[in-house]
Structure 1
Amino acid sequence: MTIEGQYRTRYDKVLFPIANKLEEFLKDILSDQPRIDRISTRPKSIARFMGKATTLTSAGIPKYEDPIHQIQDQIGARIITFYKDDVERISDEVQRYFHAIESKNMLPENDWEFGYFGNHHVLLFPVDLIDPGFDQGLVPFCFELQIKTLFQHAWSEANHDLGYKPGQQPLESDELRQLAFTSAQAWGADRVFNELFQKRHAN
């Protein structure tokens, strides 16, 4: 069976019910946490999975030898918060319930650049979220969780739509600088709102 056929079977049979259970679980464990705008989960679409599975390195060789088992975000979860300080608090709370394979803050490559910001985790699924009736060979062992502020989320969604969809005309250098400029504005807005929040709630 082709890679696409394998993923389509997994997508059709197990990814949606697992994603739905995961969303319910996250909402339950975070129900008492303030300033969460939304919690959502979704399987990676077949088109996006195949786009990632066929990625080549700079040397022109496939990035993934075994995409079905190597691609870790076949189910993605997002938690969107109000302020920057909320991100770390919620990240700490989530890690009380999941075993983390990887946790990191995503930042531009150097301090003079603006681009994507976000808090990312690759987490193992708790056993009780997996229906024992599922074919275990179809069940991914982990999922990706992103925790972002409202401004980080809005910027990353628009940036992905403008800059990364296949088949679109590539952005020119000046247009890429415009995207970086909007990232800087979102970064500044996050700082201002967070500082105002801290000031208003200072003892």
Structure 2
Amino acid sequence: MDIEAQVKDALREYDRNLVEYRRLRETCETEIPSHLRQWGVLDFRVEARVKKRGSFEQKVRRDPDRPVLDMVGLRIMTFFRSDIPQVEKMTRRLFDVKEDSYIDKGDLLSDASFGYRSVQFVAHTRGDGVGGDFEAGIPVEVQIRTMLEHVWAEVEHDFRYKPQHEAPSADINRRFALTAALLEQADLNLDDIREELEGR
């Protein structure tokens, strides 16, 4: 089968499943917050999205034989870094995690480096987790990070990768790294403050 035929088949499949993807996105946005509260995570933000048709087509064209596993994206942002392990445990109870997709971006940074941090993996609906009426096996790309990590990642991506900007200078790169370091310290400070206040 040639690439154009594969792309057409993939787009037909996308169109067939779009309503279900949107329903899963809405279910994630409405059900995940109540699960987080049950797990004792009280300060958070949850966002979900469905991959746009044009973006999906571009991905299929790059590699028609590779399945697209981020049709639905789920991002959970905590106010405190110390809540991230609890969020990950909860997510593993609600979805089946594809272990070979798991990556903690912070682990890729050297001891002297500061930059993009996020826990990311592909998970699949279980049929009995989030929205138990969804069939098992629908892929969801999950990102878990703090709010400060999210702000840094969004700003850094916009400045570095938007086509209208030239490649950043060494000075800009240094300042991005410095900002990442400051935000990482702020995350640690917030955890320390909460721990001290809750210990009183």
Q: Under TM normalisation by the shorter chain, which class is it?
A: 0.7 to 0.9
2:171 corresponds, among 174, 186, 189, to 174
Does the C-alpha gap of structure 1 residues 159 and 9 become closer, same or farther in structure 2, counting only changes over 3 Å? farther
Tell me which amino acid in the other structure corresponds to 2:171: D
**Corresponding residue SS for 1:186:** helix
Whether the aligned pair in 1 keeps the contact of 2:10 and 2:60 (CA below 8 Å) is: no
Moved more, 189-198 or 38-47: 38-47
Tell me which amino acid in the other structure corresponds to 1:72: L
Report Cα offsets for 1:25-69 as digits up to 9, x if no partner.
323322333333211110123444455556xxxxxxx6x4524x1
Whether the aligned pair in 1 keeps the contact of 2:36 and 2:42 (CA below 8 Å) is: no
Report Cα offsets for 1:145-191 as digits up to 9, x if no partner.
11111111111111121122345433233222222221111111101
1:159 corresponds, among 156, 159, 171, to 156
Does the C-alpha gap of structure 1 residues 5 and 164 become closer, same or farther in structure 2, counting only changes over 3 Å? farther
After TM superposition, the structure 1 = structure 2 runs for residues 55-66 of structure 1, keeping only pairs within 5 Å, are 64=63, 66=65
Q: Residue 3 of structure 1 aligns with which residue?
A: 7
Q: Does 1:15 align with 2:21?
A: yes
Structure 2: where are the runs of 5+ without partners?
none
Query: How many angstroms apart in 2 are the aligned matches of 1:52 and 1:112?
Result: 34
**Percent identity between the two aligned chains:** 24
Task: For residue 84 of structure 1, report the CA deviation from its aligned partner.
Answer: 0.9
Whether the aligned pair in 2 keeps the contact of 1:19 and 1:75 (CA below 8 Å) is: yes
**Count of residue pairs brought into register by the alignment:** 188
TM-score, normalised relative to structure 2: 0.77
Q: Residue 38 of structure 1 aligns with which residue?
A: 45
Higher helix content, 1 or 2:
2
The CA RMSD over aligned residues, in Å, is: 2.9
After TM superposition, the structure 1 = structure 2 runs for residues 120-131 of structure 1, keeping only pairs within 5 Å, are 120-127=120-127, 129=131
